Amino acid sequence: MKQGNSKSSTRGGARTGAGRKVGSSPYGENTKIMRIPESIVDTVGNILAACKAQRLEARYKNDISYPALDSQPIRLPLFSHKVPAGFPSPADDYIEARLSLDQHLITNKDATFFVRAKGNSMVDAGIFDGDLLVVDKSLTPSSGNIVIAIIDGDLTIKRLILRDNKTILKPENPRFKEIELQDGQELQVWGVVTSTVKKFI
């Protein structure tokens, strides 16, 4: 009678150190696999997306502010004369309209937030360290937009490039490398950058 092989198999099973690090998911903790009815997949997905957004907002709450629009916005004169530098002279120009910066910069108050740029990866797009960015979460991001993105739980500002079935986060500074999404990486676009506000003094 043949005796069974007493050696344990070295094939299959979990590998030490394989897989994602514990707590590295977008939720910041371990996850479990669940089976849910197909009819509620979208509902559960929406709930998870809302939970993730709340966690991210809590994590970056010190970097984000929201518009507080006045019911009576301040309207400043908008002169029709265009000049490369200086201020138009009232002697030969007239006021075309009165402009509210609130209304000029913000289309959807409930979906808009402000965030400060950090670093110099977007200088060639005119975004410098410390600039105040106006971000609209209601816009559908398209290729070429500058976006606030979360990749593997980290916040970044980059230009979104969708090309040849690839998703790329492109810096606007030759000193920085493009980020091309790989299998298993998760990208969440948090909003589209619509404007940048600079102060010189």
Options 32, 100, 121, 198, the catalytic residue: 121
What's residue 47's pLDDT?
75
pLDDT tens over the chain, length 201 residues: 445 454 444 455 555 555 555 545 555 667 778 888 888 888 877 777 666 666 666 665 566 666 665 556 555 555 554 555 555 555 555 555 666 677 777 888 788 888 889 899 999 999 999 898 989 988 999 999 999 988 877 789 999 999 888 999 999 999 999 999 888 787 888 899 999 988 887
Q: For CATH 2.10.109.10, list the domain ranges present in the chain.
A: 61-69+108-201
| Residue 200, CA distances (Å) to 53, 64, 104, 109, 130 in order | 33, 21, 20, 26, 11
Task: Compute the distance between CA of residue 38 and CA of residue 180 in angstroms, rounded to an integer.
Answer: 31
What's residue 183's pLDDT?
82
Task: Give the residue ranges of DSSP H helices in 6-100.
Answer: 41-59
Q: Is 137 a catalytic residue?
A: no
Q: Is the dihedral of CA 107, 108, 111, 113 positive or negative?
A: positive
What's residue 2's pLDDT?
47
Q: Is 21 a catalytic residue?
A: no
Instruction: Give the distance from CA 48 to its chain's centroid.
Output: 18
**Both tokens assigned to 155:** 């916040």
What's residue 8's pLDDT?
46
**Both tokens assigned to 70:** 């006045």
Q: Which letter, b or e, does each residue of 87-109 get, where b requires 16 or more Cβ atoms within 10 Å of its Cβ?
A: eeeeeeeeeeeeeeeeeebbeee
Torsion, Cα of 46, 49, 55, 59 (10° steps) = -150
Asked if residue 193 lies in contact with residue 148, where contact means CB atoms within 8 angstroms, the answer is yes
What's residue 68's pLDDT?
60
Query: Can you identify the CATH homologous superfamily of domain 61-69+108-201?
Result: Umud Fragment, subunit A (2.10.109.10)
Options 7, 21, 65, 158, the catalytic residue: 158
Prediction pTM value: 0.59
Residues paired with 166 in a beta bridge: 163
Residues paired with 134 in a beta bridge: 114, 195
The beta strand positions in the chain, using DSSP E, are 64-65, 76-79, 95-99, 112-116, 132-136, 146-151, 154-163, 166-170, 179-180, 187-197
